[in-house]
Structure 1
């Protein structure tokens, strides 16, 4: 399987790698900095730099049975197994995803209620909550998020065992997706003093790096479902 370098360091922009396989389904490398679609976060885009200097654009990244799949443009000339490449992500796009994903944790911590879904876009993100009613305004929630950003809380990932995870079910806020288990350990994302829950995504190192963000809208999506969208104020 592909060594997932982004799990340990979200700020890695590139890495040297060897092509394991390449076909219509995608290119598998022995190691990568490309995050695959999952947990509401889009897969990375970028390029594979070949030995001859050619840049092979990568449009998306997905999980595959043999490893992480880097999806090139249709009709692109593929590298061969054993080729050495440099995997380089679109850092500006990834960094926006990191900032938004971290902001989603602040939003989750600011609202009582299970999370029924979520999605990160370009410049905005949403979380769906199991809430019978909304007792706050957009402005009040925006102020709460702004205060958490300004407090510049440290953000870091750590791991616990499957047994420790099973003994702390209160850590799971997402009702629709269970945290991955079976490998012996589960990755937690901690915003110091604010939020702690299983998450495999990429995040910034401190909340202050999120920047100006606010609640764009609050929507009623069902009897108990409230959708809250946040967006950069840039």
Structure 2
């Protein structure tokens, strides 16, 4: 099992690890621990480099497979047992942290004001989109402008963002922990990671986040679309 360092510390830019498995056909390596975030939850993977002595192994993609994290290497592969220093592409990671937390702030406002559950979402650095199930609301420019105003007000309150890893049974005692229409958490998971924006939002989530909402910056809801009778899409960007 790979120890997932990013789950406890999103600000970890470098880490020491050991190569425990190499797949030469797929050009992937597995480490005993990693701070590289694998693609998931609408968030793209980290990129970066594994360094051993004078050798640099470029990490171009990261995916999770069961309890292992596959690091895709661009050219020459390291060998099993090699000690490496992993270095994250921090500029890209931090943009994703800001974006992911912004989407949680949007989710918190939509849930608290309108009880809208999430039906989908995706993100790129400093922009993203979220789909919500919204019943009996006029989904128009005035609605979206009001939501934008409320989200930015919450962001400027400098709310702390806290991460916890809880036993499954304890986590599911939290009301409304799952904000998606479909529960995407596998049955076999014994521990649930939660992300809380104090006083605004609390949900199960595996992504990386900033420590305070003020670190997000200001958001702009740049577009909106109706994707069906009750399914509404909102696009955001971070200024």
| TM-score normalized by the length of structure 1 | 0.92
How many angstroms apart in 1 are the aligned matches of 2:122 and 2:66?
Answer: 24
Counterpart for residue 127 of structure 1: 130
Counterparts of 1:72-151 in structure 2, within 5 Å, are 72-73=73-74, 76-111=75-110, 112-132=115-135, 133=137, 134=139, 136-151=142-157
The alpha-carbon distance between structure 1 residues 126 and 203, as it changes in their structure 2 partners (threshold 3 A), is: same
Shift of 1:169: 5.5
Counting matched residue pairs gives: 230
How many angstroms apart in 2 are the aligned matches of 1:122 and 1:165?
Answer: 30
Task: Give the gaps of 5 or more residues in structure 1.
Answer: none
Counterpart for residue 49 of structure 1: 51
How many angstroms apart in 2 are the aligned matches of 1:27 and 1:14?
Answer: 17
RMSD: 1.6
Q: What is the CA deviation profile of residues 145-197 of structure 1, one whole-angstrom value per residue up to 9, with x for unaligned ones?
A: 21111110000111332222344462211123423453432111110000011
The alpha-carbon distance between structure 1 residues 146 and 81, as it changes in their structure 2 partners (threshold 3 A), is: same
How many angstroms apart in 2 are the aligned matches of 1:46 and 1:181?
Answer: 32
How many angstroms apart in 1 are the aligned matches of 2:186 and 2:157?
Answer: 31
How many angstroms apart in 2 are the aligned matches of 1:206 and 1:168?
Answer: 22
Counterpart for residue 29 of structure 2: 27
Shift of 1:49: 1.1
The alpha-carbon distance between structure 1 residues 183 and 29, as it changes in their structure 2 partners (threshold 3 A), is: same
Task: Give the gaps of 5 or more residues in structure 2.
Answer: none
Pairing partner for 1:217 from 209, 223, 230? 223
Counterpart for residue 63 of structure 2: 62
Pairing partner for 1:194 from 192, 200, 206? 200
| TM-score normalized by the length of structure 2 | 0.90
